Amino acid sequence: MEEAAASPILSVRGLHVRFRTGQGVLHAVKGIDLDVSAGETVAIVGESGSGKSQTVMALMGLLAANGWAQGSARYRGEELIGLPPAALNRYRGSKITMIFQEPMSSLDPLYRIGDQIALPLITHGGLSRRQAQARAVDLLRLVRIPDPERRLASYPHELSGGQRQRVMIAMALANRPDILIADEPTTALDVTVQARILELLAELKHRLGMAIVFITHDLGIVRRFAERTYVMKDGEVVESGATPALFAAPQHPYTRRLIEAEPRGRKTPPPPGAPVVLDAKDIRVRFELRSGLFGRARHEIRAVDDVDLDIRAGETVGVVGESGSGKSTLGRAILRLVPAAGLVRFEDRNLTPLDPRAMRPIRKHLQLVFQDPFGSLSPRMTVGEIVTEGLLVHQPALTGRERDKRAAQALEEVRLDPSSRNRFPHEFSGGQRQRIAIARALILRPKLVVLDEPTSALDRSVQSEIVELLRELQQEHGLAYLFISHDLAVVRALSDRILVMKEGRVVERGTTAEIFTQPREVYTRELMAAAFLSSTARSHLTRRVRSACGGNRPDHPAE
């Protein structure tokens, strides 16, 4: 099973990481072994809480103050574990470097980009300030930041998330490291940006020949980039090996579960002639930005621009697009939760002229489930109270006992233990909380549910369970879904039809099969390529890498 290359430059043996917490000692990493050879790409895969990040944090001496590491991690024979920070600084930032999951907050907001990139160059490379600035320009060019000379004087808040991650990469590469550790480097970024950052990493690895350690939960990235993979679960490496072999014949049941966890299956189409539940025409939402103290100069943002949409009973319409494309705003506009122009019909009623009071009796037919399962449930209410709160408004005649019975039924429906209705949200996992949120939406027997990124905050295996549940509930109750997501795999598994949104407009629409097999728009194709390990995406990538290595690289658009 172990296929360590001849001479690993990084060799971890029996690494333990523990944290002192209020509830005793938490054993986060339980004696793992791991090897990285020169120039190799290794992935550490696992779900949240598997200890994959803490493993590399321990190597880098970046554990939180209440954590400590035991065991051995040798870089070219030198022991790293237990070194005081000053001694570790001989390797950190020069030989071994790291980029992080949070590009938005990983750069110091108070310092110019150029000064930050100069820091490792001055410290480890012994460059003068002036030399370091000159080298910083080269590095920014290397990571494809347009107009690098001018960018040196920018502050982080003037850069997009993708550009900030590029700056992080530039800093990490400043001293030509042997090993670059990338801890979920693209998780916080939009899919197309994500793809470009990954391409950049692959290309840079090719050109500079360093080893990359990818920490990720995304099997697509692993399959595409990693030569060898370690699968972690509950602080242990449960399986490791060459990536293709591991994916072809996973040995450990957990690995198999992870691989199968990618949302599968397709939705069965709604019966022909199913009634139209919601029909929206020319939906427009505009926000005004005021600039200047007295708001003289006004700037209008068209968050949603002339969108038509209809959903039939039992049908799911998927809305995909990157952040800022207006997909969430569209969902709120058709529920009349944001002021919007245009016509919205629900069954045979025109909702457009209704004021909030008149909307109230209709609201029970229109429900919304949010992305964040942690923020959207009141921490001070029991699950039963949360789930039945809507009944207080829409069916005030119910007695307490009847409501309690409905709560139990609702929880059973989302496959939760009905006896858990007296517990509080913090006692549940993310996936369970999302089930509670779904139960809350369904208890009123709605006709239409707007699902706003309901699976984005969840691990893959939990995602597929929620997808499964949503499909079953739809089948049972003939629900209409508007499913908003940037995750195309989930959208494919749930939707009958898809709208692709960009900058407030629908750029493409069609059935799921049409969109996925013959996307017409460049933007849609880009989204697809970013999201899937399709053969087109792979060849696309190798083409980029090849042309880049040939020195004749195409200029990437700035994200």
Binding site for other proteins (CB under 8 A): 60-62, 65, 85-86, 88-94, 97-98, 100, 102, 105-111, 119-120, 123-124, 155, 157, 168, 171-172, 292-293
Of residues 157 and 401, the one with the C-beta less far from other proteins: 157
Distances (CA, A) of 159 to 194, 296, 538, 559: 16, 26, 29, 10
Distance in Å, CB of 423 to other proteins, minimum: 31
Distance in Å, CB of 442 to other proteins, minimum: 38
Q: What is the CA radius of gyration of the chain?
A: 26
Distances (CA, A) of 496 to 131, 315, 512, 513: 58, 6, 6, 8
Task: Give me the phi and psi of 67, to 5 degrees please.
Answer: -110, 155
Separation CA 10–CA 339 (nearest Å):
57
Q: Give the torsion sign (CA, 169, 185, 222, 212).
A: positive
Distance in Å, CB of 62 to other proteins, minimum: 6
Of residues 64 and 393, the one with the C-beta less far from other proteins: 64
Read off the tokens for 525: 């194709």
Distance in Å, CB of 30 to other proteins, minimum: 24
Of residues 4 and 62, the one with the C-beta less far from other proteins: 62
Q: Residue 36, SS3? A: strand
Distance in Å, CB of 137 to other proteins, minimum: 19
Distance in Å, CB of 502 to other proteins, minimum: 28
Separation CA 113–CA 120 (nearest Å):
12
Separation CA 309–CA 307 (nearest Å):
7
CA triplet 48, 53, 57: central angle to 5 degrees?
A: 155
Of residues 197 and 442, the one with the C-beta less far from other proteins: 197
Q: Are 220 and 233 in contact (CB under 8 A)?
A: no
Read off the tokens for 280: 């929206």
Of residues 153 and 549, the one with the C-beta less far from other proteins: 153
Cα-to-chain-centroid distance, residue 202:
20
Of residues 291 and 552, the one with the C-beta less far from other proteins: 291
Of residues 106 and 420, the one with the C-beta less far from other proteins: 106
Distances (CA, A) of 21 to 147, 428, 450: 47, 19, 39
Of residues 188 and 457, the one with the C-beta less far from other proteins: 188
- The Cβ of residue 205 has, within 10 Å, a number of other Cβ atoms equal to 18
Distance in Å, CB of 136 to other proteins, minimum: 14
Closest CA to 161 of 202, 190, 195, 137: 190
Of residues 101 and 495, the one with the C-beta less far from other proteins: 101
Query: Which region, left, alpha or beta, applies to residue 445 given φ > 0 means left and ψ of -120 to 50 means alpha?
Result: left
Distance in Å, CB of 92 to other proteins, minimum: 3
Distance in Å, CB of 100 to other proteins, minimum: 7
